[in-house]
Each structure stands twice: as structure tokens, then as C-alpha cells.
Amino acid sequence: EMAEKNGYEHYMLKEIHEQPDALRRVLANRVSTQGVNLDEIGLTAEELKKYSQIQVVACGTAYYSGMVGKYIIEELARIPVKVDVASEFRYSNPIIDKDTLVIVVSQSGETADTLAGLRLAREKGAEVLALTNVVGSTIAREADRVLYLKAGPEIAVASTKAYLTMVSVFYLLAVQFAKIKGTINDDEYMGLVSDLIRLPELASETIKVSEEKAKEKARYFIDYDNSFYIGRNFDYTIALEGALKLKEISYLHAEAYPAGELKHGPLALIEEGIPVVAVVTRRSLYDKMLSNIKEVKARGANITAVAIAGDAEVEKAVDDVIFIPECNEFFSGLLAVIPLQLLAYYTAVGRGFDVDQPRNLAKSVTVE
Ligand code: G6P
């Protein structure tokens, strides 16, 4: 088994370190200096243009990847995107029709609720595009079109590399839709394309510069039953995924909140020493985040920021900062999740839990 883990103590750590390679595979032949190429799904520009809305259906980590997708697609391509957890979607009599593109996201391709959501969408006449990691899985077979994630086998229950590939596919779709709809110009398009190409290398750099710091900070988290993860816009979705990782494997309660919403409730829970993780990568919301950070700091929270390299201002305002490399702000969120995966991993290891097989959870949930 140690051989399968390639010298790593756990599959989860191995899979975190495999992320640059997973990104290389998911992007290969789909993006080059020529641009994004998604011909494999066989949708013409005309067909794409007819979609008036996109509906994402998924569970768990896959659901959070869809939330990143929503922010990116709406911002770049200006197509409204709704994201629902499959177990809600399937019982909600959703408003979808032939002009809706339904994107179901599932690492395993077998999650029962997601599969039921797919079937419901098809019954209602919508086109279903599946993003899945498992070739020939039920979801892959039943969807109208498939984009494979190519993350390679993921063994640890807590998903890491599959999540990164899911988000990358949403980036590809967003950039492609934006190009077709004409919501970005050629220069913007080529700028996004060249940053997409750099993603694997940036992910590798992120692991290098953040791992020690995340490991060190994990020692602090071990002693606290509760923590908060905050962010705005897609940094908020990264906070959600970071908090989920901590819950799944370290059995500590972590709650993610949109930073601007803190004052409508959770601020009452902030007390001396409580760990708060602030994801601060969106430049346009920088000042707003900084004031939220000060708001919790003033109430005694211990703040760890995940920020862009060289951000001296945030560094001054928080207790610890984990830097990620500078890049196009559309892609920084993806990098920001990596230190949060590492923080959760080292916290769980420090608490002595079975990181790869957390209690009560299963890798693939094929029952309702
Ligand atoms: C389970 C796993 C999660 C996963 C979710 C959805 O809860 O423990 O890690 O995100 O199912 O799985 P899927 O295979 O559909 O992506």
C-alpha cells in the first residue's frame, strides 16, 4: 500500500501533490496558444448561443465547484447560472426546458441524487452535460455530452484533485462561452487562455510556497472546536470548500460565510482566539475584505489570510498569511484552495484521525 501511496503517508496528501499533473491532463488538448477547444462535446456556436440559462446540479465538493462555475460564467459570459445540490434540485420541480444547459458534476459518476437530477433534467427536455472523472460511469453514460476530468483515480474520501479539475473545466467553459457570445474581446480572450495554460505550473508553485506554512498553522487549529472561513464572490466559494475539507477529516466545526454577511449573525460568535480563515484574492473586493478582517480582528479572532504574494497590507492586518503566486484574478481562487486543503490535512493528522477514511463518510454515495 505504501507503494501505491508513492511514499506519502496518506492518499489525500499524495492526491494534493498530484494536482499539477491532474491539471495538465484536464487541460491537455483543450487549451493551447490557439485558444480553447471543446469540440469533443460537439456543440456548435449556434447551439451554445441558444442556451438562456445554465443549471448546475451536484453534491458535496462537486457542488462547490459549480459555485465557482457560476461566478466565472456569469462574470465572463453573462449567462445566468443556477447551482443546486442534487438532493434539493430533484424535489423542487425546477424551471428548466430545452433552452437550459444542465451541467451535472460528479467525480464518481455514480452519486444517486446527482443521477436522479440528471434523469429529471432530461425528462424536462434539457440537454445534460456531465463533468465526471470515471469513464463509463452511469452519469457519463446517461448524459447527452461528457467532459472527462482526467484527474486519475481519487482514493481519499475528501476530494482534492478532482475538485481542481472540475473548476478548471468550468473555466474552460466560461472562457469558451464568453468568446462565442462576444462578451470578451480577443485580447481578453487570449489573456485568459495564456493564464489557463500556466495553471499547472502555478498550482505546483502554490504547493511549494504554502505547504510548510499551512502545516505550521494547523497546530493552532487543533485546539479549536469552531472556526470560520470568509470570502467574497468566488473567494467565498473557496471558503466553503476549505471549511468542508476541515469538517470532513478533522471533525472540527468550520463554517464558511460570505464576509459581508458576518454582521448579520456569526459576528456574535467571534471570541478571543477563534480561528478565522480569510480568502482575499479578488482585487475588486479587496477593501471590502480588509474591513471585514478588521471587524473580526477587533473582536479577538485569530486570522489566517490566504492572499496574493506581496500583499503587505493584509499581512499587517492578520495573524498569519499564506501567500499564493500572483496570477490573473480569475484563477487565483483555484490556487487559494490548495493551502486550505493542506491546512485541513495537517489539522486532521495532528488530531490523529484516519484522514483517508473519515468516520461516517463514503467516497461514493450511491444510496439516497
Ligand atoms: C461524497 C464524498 C464527497 C463528494 C460527494 C459527491 O459525499 O465523500 O467527497 O464530494 O460525495 O461525490 P461525486 O462522486 O458525485 O463527486
Q: Is residue 365 scored above 70 in pLDDT?
A: yes
How remote is the CA of residue 365 from the centroid of ligand 1, in Å? Answer: 7
Q: Would the CB of 342 count as within 6 Å of ligand 1?
A: no
How remote is the CA of residue 291 from the centroid of ligand 1, in Å? Answer: 35
Q: Is residue 143 scored above 80 in pLDDT?
A: yes
CA distances from 190 to 179, 185, 221, 350, 365 (A): 10, 9, 41, 44, 40
Q: Is residue 367 scored above 90 in pLDDT?
A: no
pLDDT of residue 283: 84
> What mean pLDDT value characterizes the chain?
95
- Helix (H), strand (E), coil (C) string for 248-280: HHHCCEEEEEEHHHHHHCHHHHCCCCCEEEEEE
How remote is the CA of residue 136 from the centroid of ligand 1, in Å? Answer: 17
Q: Is residue 334 scored above 70 in pLDDT?
A: yes
Per DSSP, helices labelled H in 124-276 are 138-142, 161-181, 186-221, 234-250
**ipTM score:** 0.98
Q: Judge whether 155 and 129 are in contact, CB under 8 Å.
A: no
The grid coordinates of residue 264 equal 448579520
CA distances from 267 to 99, 198, 255, 296 (A): 42, 38, 12, 7
Residue nearest to atom 8 of ligand 1 (CA): 363
Average of per-residue pLDDT across 353-358? 92
Q: Would the CB of 59 count as within 6 Å of ligand 1?
A: yes
d(CA 296, CA 85): 30
Residues in the chain: 368
Q: Would the CB of 66 count as within 6 Å of ligand 1?
A: no
Condensed to tens digits (0 to 9), the pLDDT of residues 27-54 reads 999 999 999 999 999 988 898 899 999 9
pLDDT of residue 327: 87
d(CA 255, CA 244): 8
Average of per-residue pLDDT across 309-333? 93
d(CA 133, CA 368): 21
Q: Would the CB of 114 count as within 6 Å of ligand 1?
A: yes
pLDDT of residue 364: 87
How remote is the CA of residue 167 from the centroid of ligand 1, in Å? Answer: 15
Give 194's pLDDT tier (boundaries 50, 70, 90): very high
The grid coordinates of residue 57 equal 446540479
Residues of the chain above pLDDT 70, percent: 99
Average of per-residue pLDDT across 148-166? 96
d(CA 68, CA 90): 21
Q: Would the CB of 140 count as within 6 Å of ligand 1?
A: no
How remote is the CA of residue 268 from the centroid of ligand 1, in Å? Answer: 32
Q: Which residues are catalytic?
A: 363
Number of other CB atoms surrounding residue 73 within 10 Å: 24
Q: Is residue 322 scored above 90 in pLDDT?
A: yes
Q: Would the CB of 365 count as within 6 Å of ligand 1?
A: yes
Average of per-residue pLDDT across 176-200? 96
Residue to mutate, 57, 364, 368, ligand 1, most ligand atoms under 8 Å from C-beta: 364
- The pTM of the full predicted model, rounded to 2 decimals, is 0.96
- Of 68, 106, 86, which is closest to residue 337 (Cα–Cα)? 68
Q: Would the CB of 155 count as within 6 Å of ligand 1?
A: no
